[in-house]
Structure 1
């Protein structure tokens, strides 16, 4: 069943005294429920712009984005905000944990805006999610007392605590060493699969992208399907971005 669909999506910005700058050009993408898709691309390829569109933070210049077969453009601001909060979880490269708040308090934060049932159960739900990512003994620790891998696990728990149907992971291993990054990606994929959530990983690292089931490359605003695992096996250098 299709969860997210992009049809001929473009995004451009008007520059002073110049032609519009085209960032995304005719992007087509279908993401099914429970899917794991990776999008790899160099800096400046349009990855961040695409992420903002996928997360309902921006509108395309042209084309349509559908969530549950409903055009996102047709949603009012409040409807879009509620759908984003309930159905989409964001995981950022720099973790973006709230300073001065414990790991548990960071994971509780999204539940402060949840419906009544989740709101009143927020502490229990946050504790369960932290336990699920292996941090049951670190719930009262401040972010600065956690390792990079532990901070990323808190970020994953925070993104998943409301049981989103779509997880957007932006350079999830960019701030981690290779071993920790592999562990975090394995955990993220496992938890997403157990939750039945679709996972979109946006990265410049072809090895991270290869962990997904389907792979795309974004180059100069154009999205094309690629077989990264086959290319890596053949040691094709141009897919290592």
Structure 2
């Protein structure tokens, strides 16, 4: 049984002029525990909408979403909220750290809604997770005193402090330089592998996407499997399609 399974999922919204905008068109996707998959696509193709549905932040217009065999549509809003907080960890491009709160307080924040030992040990758990992402000596720093890479590490620690079974990363390296972005993805891969969590990365960066075990392209609301970075080749965008070229070719990538 897959951990997550979407079948013919659509998402549409009605515009003020009464036209219907179709954002997702018949998405079918299954993800097992421990898998790392990536979804690439241009801005405005529905990547974030797909992530919001996977993370129980939004509901599909039609189709079915199964979480360990249970239809999400049958769950109460309270149950969905509990699952969202307990089983899903979100890593966003813009970090979304709480200003005026230390790194430790930011990471401990999700545990304010926990029960029992996790609640009472929230600062110890937060400190341990910050140490795990290499910030054990920056616990009392405010976000504005941290570099972009350090802020993203705090965001990752916050997403993982409750040991989620699914890590959803929305353009996790979009605000970072190439080297820092590579370090962040290596960290996410490492922690997901150690904990057995599924990692789903939504990105326009083909280098980030190529790290996954399975790759998909989302264009005009349609999700299709693709293959990235075959040995000896470089993947680049040509129009709306990622394509391979020999690694010794001189043609520049189309971005």
- Is the counterpart of residue 134 in structure 1 residue 157 in structure 2? no
* 2:211 alignment partner in structure 1: 211
- Is the counterpart of residue 49 in structure 1 residue 49 in structure 2? yes
Query: How far does residue 192 in structure 1 lie from its aligned partner after superposition?
Result: 1.2
1:2-151 matched pairs, under 5 angstroms = 2-151=2-151
Name the CA distance, whole Å, in 1 between partners of 2:219 and 2:65: 20
Query: How far does residue 236 in structure 1 lie from its aligned partner after superposition?
Result: 4.8
Distance 1:231 1:237, change over 3 A: farther
* 1:186 alignment partner in structure 2: 186
Distance 1:232 1:51, change over 3 A: farther
Deviations 1:180-221 (A, max 9, x none): 100111011101111111000000111110011110000010
TM-score (norm 2): 0.91
Name the CA distance, whole Å, in 2 between partners of 1:153 and 1:27: 31
1:147-162 matched pairs, under 5 angstroms = 147-162=147-162
RMSD: 1.4
Name the CA distance, whole Å, in 2 between partners of 1:190 and 1:211: 12
Distance 1:12 1:181, change over 3 A: same
Query: How far does residue 19 in structure 1 lie from its aligned partner after superposition?
Result: 3.0
Query: How far does residue 234 in structure 1 lie from its aligned partner after superposition?
Result: 4.6
User: Partner of 1:140: helix, strand, or coil?
Assistant: coil
Query: How far does residue 117 in structure 1 lie from its aligned partner after superposition?
Result: 1.9
Name the CA distance, whole Å, in 2 between partners of 1:9 and 1:232: 36
User: Partner of 2:63: helix, strand, or coil?
Assistant: strand
Query: How far does residue 58 in structure 1 lie from its aligned partner after superposition?
Result: 1.0
Deviations 1:113-160 (A, max 9, x none): 012121011111111101110110001110011111110000000000
Query: How far does residue 51 in structure 1 lie from its aligned partner after superposition?
Result: 1.1
Deviating beyond 4 angstroms after TM superposition, the runs of 4 or more aligned structure 1 residues are: none
Query: How far does residue 228 in structure 1 lie from its aligned partner after superposition?
Result: 1.3
Distance 1:112 1:232, change over 3 A: farther
Comparing both structures, which one devotes a greater share of its residues to helix?
1
Name the CA distance, whole Å, in 2 between partners of 1:85 and 1:232: 42
Name the CA distance, whole Å, in 1 between partners of 2:230 and 2:65: 30
Q: Is the 8 A contact 2:229 2:235 kept in 1?
A: no
Query: How far does residue 235 in structure 1 lie from its aligned partner after superposition?
Result: 4.5
User: Partner of 1:229: helix, strand, or coil?
Assistant: coil
* 2:223 alignment partner in structure 1: 223
Q: Is the 8 A contact 2:130 2:157 kept in 1?
A: yes
